[in-house]
Amino acid sequence: MNRQQASRDNGAKSNGPASSEGKAKSCLNAIKHGLTSSRIVVMQNESQQDYAKLVSGFLDTFQPVTEPEICLVEEMANSQWKRRRAERIETALLDLSLSEMESKLDQVFDGPVDEDTKAALAYRDAHHGDKTLANLERHIVRLSRQFQRAHDKLVELQQIRKAEAEQEAKLAAEARAESAEKPQKAPETVKFQNEPAPGPQTAPQAPETSEIHPREAA
């Protein structure tokens, strides 16, 4: 088996990062490169680059760390993306209604009609007998609530994580301070194997001197 085939086999067996931190980083990289929700959220006539820019901006703003935090930021970005689309569709529906109505204005009004009146008539006609615009407006409200729930949950998780980190840092500092206050123990004498035990200590003896008697000196 050659090296290239071995690499493919190893890659097929890999299940990705095992740790929570590794999984979070992997998820973050995938989102930044548009490899996850972009395939579900972005329509064919929408820009993948615009979606990636939106997600990247959210990630830079909220700085998620854990995998749940990253998922919540992604949910916020997706809700924002869908809401903007819904708002564009709402505007397009009103423009369509306005275009269809302008041909009838001369039959209803004798003089010129200001733009605000035209918009009001278009809005009324868009709601008359068709629930499309009403359903779209409810959809926009639902997306706004979804965004807010994800945002509130993200803030809650980040506050908990930061509080836990501060508590761990405080405990570590207290442990270091307590260790520094303890008296240092004297180093223990190392006794080697088969080393003879020291005997009783005796006072040093004075050197012996020979006495000289007077007769011997004579």
Number of domains present in the structure of the chain: 1
Structural domain for 129, as ranges: 17-178
Top pLDDT among 205 and 81 is at 81
Phi, psi of 81, deg, nearest 5: -65, -45
Is 191 within the bounds of a domain? Answer: no
- For residue 12, what pLDDT is reported? 43
Is 211 within the bounds of a domain? Answer: no
Evaluate if residue 193 carries a pLDDT over 90: no
Top pLDDT among 148 and 118 is at 148
> What's the rounded mean pLDDT across residues 102-124?
80
> What's the rounded mean pLDDT across residues 108-127?
82
**pTM as predicted:** 0.65
Is 97 within the bounds of a domain? Answer: yes
Is 193 within the bounds of a domain? Answer: no
Evaluate if residue 126 carries a pLDDT over 70: yes
For 104-172, the DSSP string reads THHHH-SS---HHHHHHHHHHHHHTT--HHHHHHHHHHHHHHHHHHHHHHHHHHHHHHHHHHHHHHHHH
| Mean confidence (pLDDT) of the chain | 78
> In the Cβ-directed half-sphere of 212, how many Cα atoms lie within 13 Å?
4
Per the CB < 8 A criterion, the answer to whether 91 and 59 are in contact is no
Percent pLDDT > 70 in the chain is: 66
How far apart CA 158 and CA 153 sit, in angstroms, is: 9
Lowest mean pLDDT among 75-79, 84-88, 103-107: 103-107
Is 130 within the bounds of a domain? Answer: yes
Is 199 within the bounds of a domain? Answer: no
Phi, psi of 14, deg, nearest 5: -70, 135
- For residue 121, what pLDDT is reported? 84
Is 197 within the bounds of a domain? Answer: no
Is 44 within the bounds of a domain? Answer: yes
